[in-house]
Amino acid sequence: MDHGEGRGNHTAGYENQETALDAPAGRAEGHPERCPSEQRLYEDAPERVPERAPGQPSGGKDSYTIGEVVERLRPDYPSLSVSKIRYLERRRLISLNRTRGGYRLFSSQDVELLKYILKLQEEEYLPLKVIKKRIEGGAPIMPANEASNELSRVLEDRTYTREELADSLEADTRFVEELISVGVIGRNGELTQRDAEIARMAQEMAKYSIQPRHLRGIMAAVEREAAMFKQILNPELRSGDEQRVSEAVGKARHLAAVDSRLKELMMANAIDSFAPGSFPNERG
């Protein structure tokens, strides 16, 4: 996941500043007398935002302050903070209008764009570099609940070099090479968008000390189950009839989805056994 300019997560400090609110642009915003480091310190400094920014009409909600946007979206995106929005603005993923006093104002379209970015970043594990390229490419901003399927269609043909994939993950190339060596990604001789998604999941597990070498067991289980599905569907797969082959592949994907849900439920039962009786209301 892309949360910073360099390797690793560089936004933790911003997102922990829960008391930080918007600040007027004034002299700081792009002022030639400020050096870049001074500019960044100014933007990250905690300041207050009035309930209604100066110059904002008190009537219909044609625009929203940054505080209002955070309050509105935080139930769906708990990690959202004023500092994170400032960071996205500095990375030029969003561009906001301002009042005469320098306060940031969101239009309804700006809010939708922010939701779209958060959806791709937090649920699809896409780095900001990829999200920015998608936005700059003129792709339509659809409701967040439609983003996942649309993204898969747009990026399904994307391929990466090892260096590009490592860069998109904000990781060392060695991490990508380890995933390739254990057969988790790059099985067809190239690194696809699907491999990139797998790598991001592996990166998340690595935060809990589950390294690429530990994924061998998961990969072996996947191969056994895929072999079982293939054996079941072999008559259709070997029929030579294009329609039957296509239907067989569809059945295999359906079996995979059922298998995934089955594992999720079985894992939930297993986790419940870690501390019996401690979580009676979390079953389901």
Judge whether 85 and 121 are in contact, CB under 8 Å. Answer: no
> How high is the pLDDT of residue 160?
86
97 closest CA partner among 120, 83, 81, 113: 113
44 closest CA partner among 74, 77, 14: 14
185 closest CA partner among 205, 165, 168, 209: 165
Tokens of 226: 């895929």
pTM: 0.47
111 closest CA partner among 162, 77, 161: 77
> How high is the pLDDT of residue 11?
41
Judge whether 177 and 162 are in contact, CB under 8 Å. Answer: yes
Grouped pLDDT means (10 residues each) for the chain, 284 residues: 42 40 44 45 42 42 89 91 91 89 90 90 77 71 49 58 87 94 91 88 93 93 94 93 91 91 91 75 50
Distance separating alpha carbons of residues 98 and 23, to the nearest angstrom = 11
185 closest CA partner among 222, 150, 153: 222
- Domains of the chain by start residue, with CATH: 12-153 (1.10.1660.10), 158-272 (no CATH)
Distance separating alpha carbons of residues 144 and 119, to the nearest angstrom = 6
